[in-house]
Structures are given as structure tokens and as C-alpha cells.
Copies of this chain bind each other. A is one copy, B any other.
Amino acid sequence: MTTGHIMMAMSLDGFVARPDHAVDWLNKQATHNEDHGFAEFQGRMDVIVMGSGSFRTVVGFGEWPYSIPCIVMSRTMTDEDVPMELRSRVEVSTLEPNVLFASLQKRGLQRAYVDGGAVIRSFIEAGLIEDMRITIVPILLGDGIRIFGSNDRDIDLELMSSTPFPSGLLDLEYKVKR
């Protein structure tokens, strides 16, 4: 079965964005030449899965940054909502997470980069996330969009590595226990 992988930055109090989705606080720390491994991580992924909110944000950047196929999980968007020039690389899906992963597996897409708060939560809940790379940014935002949501049962993790950087950012790698 295809496996899900997360790489996200969060504030120490667990937010990925301010209430208005702003991520300006990510740039408060001078990170200069620090390599937080995003390119290496992305290079190992076969497909990216995100929600419609993340999709609109990325489209708003102007240039589409991903070379791997992208699945947008949405019940309100259709393929027609995808800009023409992206239709060869982006598809909209209404499948349940486990059904989606079974179909990706059939297509030979083994490792899925799962991005965006609500989508991350539903894939964790479905038991489809194998590991998580979390960068903790040294700030308390107080309010915003939470990276993790409610889950019916404990999700037990195993700490694989922790790497502090001069900027105060801290890279953590967890495996999800089965």
C-alpha cells in the first residue's frame, strides 16, 4: 500500500498558520543557509496529496512548484477548477484516504507527501501516515490553524531524530507506531 509522509513547520504551540492563514512568522528567524531537508524529502516522494485550500495557496504563488503528480482532495472542486496548464499534473479526488492510497499503489505511486491541516488530520486518523517531519519554530502564536486535530484514539509515535539549528528551528522526525 502507498504510504503517507508529512513535512511541516509548526509553532511551539502547534499552529501551521495564523487565523487568517498568514505564515509571515516563518520568516522571523534568520535561517540563512540552513538546510531543513525539504528538497531531499520532496525528491523521495512520488505524489503529493493536498486539500483545496493548500491548492489555491500554491496556485496563488504563480509558478507551480511540483514536478510529481498532485491529488487535490475536495468535494467542492472539480477537474474544471484546475487551471488548464496544470490539468496534466493535477487531479481532483473525492475518494476516501484508504481508497485513494489503494488506487495510487496500483499506479505505482508508492510514497505520498501529504500536505495541509485538514488533509493531514484525515490521513493520520485513517492510519495512513508512516512518518512525520516536523520543524518546530521557536514562537508561540496563541491562535491559528492547528497542524493536528482530534483523533479518536492515541497516535503513538517514535522519535527517530532531533536536529537543532542556529536559527532556533528544531527538526524532528517521528515514525507512527502500528
The chain A residues found within 8 Å of chain B, CB to CB, are 12-14, 25, 28, 124, 134, 136, 138-143, 146-159, 161-162, 164, 168-170, 172, 174
Nearest Cβ distance between residue A31 and chain B, in whole angstroms? 13
Nearest CB to that of A177 among chain B residues? B138
Copies in the complex: 2
Q: Is the CB of B162 within 8 A of A164?
A: yes
Nearest Cβ distance between residue A63 and chain B, in whole angstroms? 30
Docked Cα-Cα span, A7 to B89, in Å, equals 48
> Which chain B residues lie closer than 8 Å to A155 at the CB level?
139-140, 142
Nearest Cβ distance between residue A141 and chain B, in whole angstroms? 6
> Which chain B residues lie closer than 8 Å to A168 at the CB level?
157-159
